[in-house]
A and B are shown apart, each in its own frame.
Chain A
């Protein structure tokens, strides 16, 4: 499936490219724009990004796989990231993580059949002071326990 940026996104990219001394340096924001448009980063997306940023697609692949925030497969409408790093773990993150798995009946990296939810166990999201926490798409939910987590999930269903 061929991937082309929308007119609107092409304009966004124009502005982004101007911020950097060379096009290649803009690969991360350009990938974000692509992911927003396409939902995930496919091979076709990487090819297009490589073309726009004037760099080898091999290097784009390296960037995409390095950062967990780029998804190489389609994710759910609500992408749930549960932190299980030290601070969160000490304050019960695994109970929360297990509960989420239980409720959604999916494992790490999987998507529910109705494509509503996907789950990812992640390392520190920089919110240790309010551990334990999860992120739903871009939004943080903090100072959680099992029951408040269930409520969040219910509210999304």
Chain B
């Protein structure tokens, strides 16, 4: 391999790599605005200027190819002077918006102004004024004054979303970003431009002005919107999710996620419709009960049916751990054979970028973890038919809104004698339930999902429940968690009395056998690994932050 010298360090590079890429591969960050590892090179911001020995002028690191023996300086006097000059130049027309700008705290321009700028401007004239609130599309707001014309957003639309919806118009200091008159920035991936915009010019209309970034904690998670399982960060303040952002994982979603997943997979967590505390129906009315009472009631009821009369419905939205425990309970404690889960396929809603037809994050995992009918058991549709015909009298449903899935099931479910559901939110199915267990959402628990590529990935609690212990669950801490007092809002946040499926079912099982002894979802996972060969070799550390391919899917190339 060839190498060059960067600030005295030897850096190996592949032929065709630029200086900035080679440096990035070695964890060295050369200042840049317009360069983005997944977009074409534009070379317009000039902040990446570096000194290369024996080259007459400074060169931009983002488009200069690394060459054998090159000696590059990123902190020499000349480089620093150039960087200062570039910063001063970019800041000439940049408004002093930081105190009211959503980007503050995660703004490249702000960071570089601290790190690489002299902190003074010689520009005494009036700054350029431009439109400050342009609705570029349904989700994205544009502030013309903050834009530094790096063209990342334009290139994203052209190259990644495949819809060239943005362009520069005018030139010089009048240059600005627009959509074509009469058109909008409305591609299914539009919000990614708000992540890659290095400044606060493009903001997420759903999140604007909700929180300062340093007041939120961010937790590494996975999107629940479809079988892709885009890696995400969940941003929380005062125990409330305020936004999701994509997290880089080249194997799954690169730097991106779709707008649908970003906007519509977390609001139910904060919603008023959450179920908090177990609910038992008596005389047609739901009453809150305590957990032990609910466990005993549910177990007692289940036991009064024969195993042919009972069916269990797992969920591709639940974790592998949840589904494993459900299957184990159904098969070993109840002896049931009718066990399956419904598919959520939205035919045609799929593209060559990220979006998958299967709108669940863990269909593969649910199946592998044991949610399959026994040899003589019924599949999901057959189960529903049997319910309709009165052959199945008791149904145990985990995290599925069956009526929401198919309104006709409303009549079907009415025919049941016993309906037990785990639900995070009240819905049309819970209306018909005899017992409701409040389910912790994916944002409140640990666990794993297997995406359509056969890649297992971890979710982690970002929001705490009543029994959740922030330090024990390794919850990410925000400034408020660390420094807040009981007099702050954080001391009085809303917490749900909800539990993960594996824990509820263990509680249920233990009213009799006492054999479901797990204190964390990791315990469940370790048992799952021992009993299901497809998971062998895995543990939570191996899966880590970026996931791991299940053995039988290694080398099957799915994109």
What is A's interface to B at a CB cutoff of 8 Å?
Answer: 43, 56-59, 61-62, 65-66
Contacts and interface: CB of A to CB of B under 8 A. Distances in A.
Contacts of A61: 167, 169, 178, 180-181
Interface string B148-172: 0000000000000000111111110
A58 B181 contact: no
Interface in B302-351: none
A92 B48 CA distance: 43
A114 to B, nearest CB: 29
7 closest A-B pairs by CB:
A65-B169, A58-B167, A56-B164, A62-B167, A66-B171, A58-B180, A65-B170
A149 B169 CA distance: 34
10 contacts: A43-B181, A57-B180, A58-B165, A58-B167, A61-B167, A61-B178, A62-B167, A65-B169, A65-B170, A66-B171
Nearest to B164: A56
B229 to A, nearest CB: 32
B179 interface: yes
A65 B174 CA distance: 10
A135 to B, nearest CB: 20
A58 B166 contact: yes
Nearest to A123: B172
Interface in B116-175: 164-171
B451 to A, nearest CB: 33
Interface in B259-274: none
A59 B183 CA distance: 13
Contacts of B170: 65-66
A58 B182 CA distance: 11
Given A43-B181, A56-B164, A66-B169, 7 more contacts: A57-B180, A58-B166, A58-B167, A58-B179, A61-B167, A61-B169, A62-B167
Secondary structure type dominating chain A contacts = helix
Contacts of A56: 164, 167
A59 B164 CA distance: 8
Contacts of A58: 164-167, 179-180, 183
A58 B164 CA distance: 7
A62 B175 CA distance: 10
A61 B171 CA distance: 12
B169 A62 contact: yes
B121 to A, nearest CB: 25
A56 B165 CA distance: 9
Nearest to A59: B167
Kindly name the residue among A43, A57, A59, A62 whose own CB sees the greatest number of chain B CB atoms within 10 A: A62
A156 to B, nearest CB: 30
A19 B164 CA distance: 26
A57 B179 CA distance: 10
Contacts of A59: 164, 167
Nearest to A62: B167
A84 B68 CA distance: 50
Nearest to A65: B169
A61 B183 CA distance: 13
Nearest to A67: B171
Contacts of B180: 57-58, 61
A43 B164 CA distance: 17
Nearest to A55: B164
Q: Which of B170, B171, B180 has the most CB of A within 10 A?
A: B180
Contacts of B166: 58
Interface in B167-215: 167-171, 178-183
A65 B182 CA distance: 17
A43 to B, nearest CB: 6
Contacts of B164: 56, 58-59
Interface in B338-390: none
A56 B169 CA distance: 14
Contacts of A43: 181-182
A65 B170 CA distance: 5
A120 to B, nearest CB: 15
A143 to B, nearest CB: 29
A59 B163 CA distance: 12
Contacts of B182: 43
Contacts of A66: 168-171
A59 B165 CA distance: 9
Contacts of B181: 43, 61
A86 B224 CA distance: 62
Nearest to B166: A58
A57 B164 CA distance: 9
A3 to B, nearest CB: 15
